[in-house]
Amino acid sequence: MRIETTETFAGPIRILVPTGSLGAGAREEEIRYAMARGMHAIATDAGSTDSGAAYLALGISKNNRGSVKRDLTVLMKAASDARIPLIIGSAGQAGGDANVDWTKEIALEVAAELGIKPRIAILYSEIDKATLKARNALGKVRALPPLGALDDATIDSCDHIVAVMGAEPYIAALQAGADIIIGGRTTDTAVIASYALWKGAPPGPAWHAAKVAECGGQCAVNRLASAGVLISIDRNGFEVEPPSLENQCSPHSVSAHMLYENSNPFLLTEPGGTLDVTEADYTAIDHRAVRVTGSVWKPQPYTMKLEGAGRGRYQTIMLIGIQDPDVLTRVDEFHDKMLAWLYRRTRDTIGPAAGDFHISLRMYGWNAVSGDKPPAGTPAPREIGVLFVATADTQEMATQIAKACNPYFFHFPIELDKELPSYGFAFSPADIERGPVYEFKLNHVVEVDDPQALVRTEWLDLSRQERAP
């Protein structure tokens, strides 16, 4: 693979990150701005673990198909017009194989509608359980706190497992002539840094610029005034500006973003090294752009983080609203009494068949988010919503528990000698099957000698397919 070295790197390399997540809404006027500034590539991630494990476990996208297709249409047209690469990582939110294929199908549809014939590289990094068990048995898997050593049972409890890619598979795809890259789970930074690294940009500024830009316009002063951000990486540092004259980046807005969703404000661990911004210096170029120097890249033995998601037990929920002031002055007492009755009711009517079930009442408007008892003297709320959550081994049992609890949940009196009240409910039937609980099961890294060892690259060369008989 031919990669220009930092010594011969002329720079600067300008990358447009058009949105914080594919489907969030790329703006055509920002793309025109970046084109006029001479952008060399468009790069964006399409996902995160933040919204929960369901998207990996189920292989589904969080963003709706229409908004992803809309962004792909805008970005694929822009990249084709400007003859520059479009790089997408963590496709379909979770970046599992099914998430990647979902995104691939949309991209093929868009290409046909636009009448363009790009060479598309698809990077998969889902890892099968046998492969992971074998590597674990060789001592190649390490736990990250707070989790402990990995065992086969934990691997088996996952529905899908991905290895989080670094920049190398992207660089290889660019080197092989990709017009569009659709990657599975990847660090946000690797997706954005890959083009500049391929061109021989110094790694410290390339990775730091990518971290600043990972959420698009989030690093600007006004988080909503622009969707994207433009980074320009040169031999000694990088510059960042919003691709919109309406917005600004300030040294504070740019430096603060390094803190975002990162447990350490100075170090960012990537598959092949660590970005260290301890000595980074942020200065205003003018009222809109910021220059950053002093970012350091420290190579480390190559490790890929593992993400695995699996399903747990099943839940059925019900919801009521309460305005009765006699309840609202005694919410904690009401909660405790009702919960005791619901457990009793379930045991009396379903018995041992209910298994190791769990019932939770969340008092929205009082303490549903914290779960803490508010201090004495807290004023009574005007109304509250009570969410009932039954958890059981099967969906059917969770619903049976909800149905058994139904009359008590909807009519439980604060004073047992008064007539039964009816609390406000909005739906009939009242119980809603929520499906299983999804959890991330892994917080481990796997050591690999070759960054591509766990990555599969497939090519869709639309120009060739067209010529085939």
Partner 1 sequence: MTTLRQVCHHIRSKNAGPFWVTIDLFFDGDASFRRYGESPVLGPELFQRLYGADPRLVKRYPVPKLHMVKISYARTNVQGGEVERDMHCGQQFVRLLDVELDDRA
CA 316 to CA 320: how far, in whole Å?
14
**Burial of residue 450, with CB atoms counted within 10 A of its CB: 0-12 exposed, 13-18 middle, 19 or more buried:** exposed
Confirm or reject binding of residue 313 to partner 1 (CB under 8 A): yes
The residues near 274 (Cβ < 8 Å, ≥ 6 apart) are: 267, 268, 297, 298, 300
Confirm or reject binding of residue 248 to partner 1 (CB under 8 A): no
288 near 242, Cβ under 8 Å? yes
Residue 2 CB, nearest approach to partner 1 (Å): 35
Span interacting with partner 1, options 71-79, 192-200, 262-270, 283-291, rule CB under 8 A: 262-270
Confirm or reject binding of residue 145 to partner 1 (CB under 8 A): yes
Q: Token pair of 167, please?
A: 């920049």
The residues near 394 (Cβ < 8 Å, ≥ 6 apart) are: 314
Q: How many CA atoms does the CB half-sphere of 300 hold within 13 Å?
A: 17
* Per-residue mark of binding to partner 1, 374-413 (x: CB under 8 A): ---------------x-x----------------------
Span interacting with partner 1, options 37-45, 117-125, 437-445, 449-457, rule CB under 8 A: 437-445
**Judged by CB under 8 A, which of 38, 265, 325, 435 binds partner 1?**
265
Q: Which is nearer to partner 1, 33 or 366 (CB)?
A: 366
Q: Name residues contacting partner 1, limited to 266-285 (CB under 8 A).
A: 266
Phi, psi (degrees; rounded to nearest 5) at 218: -60, -25
**Judged by CB under 8 A, which of 101, 324, 383, 439 binds partner 1?**
439
Ordered DSSP codes for 170-212: HHHHHHTT-SEEEESSB-HHHHHHHHHHHTT--HHHHHHHHHH
* Per-residue mark of binding to partner 1, 357-376 (x: CB under 8 A): -x-x-x-----xxxxx----
Binding-site residue total for partner 1 (CB under 8 A)? 39
Confirm or reject binding of residue 353 to partner 1 (CB under 8 A): no
Phi, psi (degrees; rounded to nearest 5) at 224: -110, -15
* Per-residue mark of binding to partner 1, 38-77 (x: CB under 8 A): -----------xxxxxx-----------------------
Preceding peptide of 436 cis, ω within 30°: no
Confirm or reject binding of residue 437 to partner 1 (CB under 8 A): yes
Residue 315 CB, nearest approach to partner 1 (Å): 7
CA 249 to CA 9: how far, in whole Å?
26
**Judged by CB under 8 A, which of 10, 112, 137, 144 binds partner 1?**
144
CA 406 to CA 345: how far, in whole Å?
10
209 near 294, Cβ under 8 Å? no
Residue 177 CB, nearest approach to partner 1 (Å): 34
Q: Which is nearer to partner 1, 174 or 254 (CB)?
A: 254
The residues near 20 (Cβ < 8 Å, ≥ 6 apart) are: 44, 214, 215, 216, 217, 218, 227
Amino acid at 139: G
Confirm or reject binding of residue 336 to partner 1 (CB under 8 A): no
Confirm or reject binding of residue 256 to partner 1 (CB under 8 A): yes
**Judged by CB under 8 A, which of 25, 70, 131, 312 binds partner 1?**
312
Span interacting with partner 1, options 176-184, 209-217, 311-319, 399-407, rule CB under 8 A: 311-319
Residue 63 CB, nearest approach to partner 1 (Å): 16
- Pairing mode, strands 41-47 and 358-364: unpaired
- The residues binding partner 1 (CB under 8 A) are 49-54, 144-147, 252, 255-256, 259-266, 312-313, 315, 358, 360, 362, 368-372, 389, 391, 437-440, 443
